[in-house]
Amino acid sequence: EIQMTQSPSTLSASVGDRVTITCRASQFISTWLAWYQQRPGEAPQLLIYEASALQSGVPSRFSGSGSGTEFTLTISSLQPDDFATYYCQQYKTFGAFGQGTKVEIE
Partner 1 sequence: QVQLVQSGAEVKKPGSSLKVSCKTSGGSFSSFAVSWMRQAPGQGLEWMGGIIPIFHTPNYAQKFQGRITISADESTDTAYMEVISLRSDDTAVYYCARGGLPRDYYYMDVWGKGTTVTVSS
Contact positions vs partner 1 (CB under 8 A): 1, 34, 36, 38, 43-46, 49-50, 55, 85, 87, 89, 91, 93-100
Of 61 and 102, nearer to partner 1 (C-beta) is: 102
Most distant CA pair in the chain, distance? 38
How far apart are CB 36 and partner 1 at their closest, in Å? 8
Of 6 and 69, nearer to partner 1 (C-beta) is: 6
Of 2 and 17, nearer to partner 1 (C-beta) is: 2
For 26, 56, 106, the CA distances from 47, given in Å and listed in that order, are 22, 8, 23
| Phi, psi angles (nearest 5°) of residue 26 | -75, -15
* Per-position DSSP letters for 43-63, written without gaps between them: --EEEEETTTEEPTT--TTEE
How far apart are CB 77 and partner 1 at their closest, in Å? 25
How far apart are CB 92 and partner 1 at their closest, in Å? 9
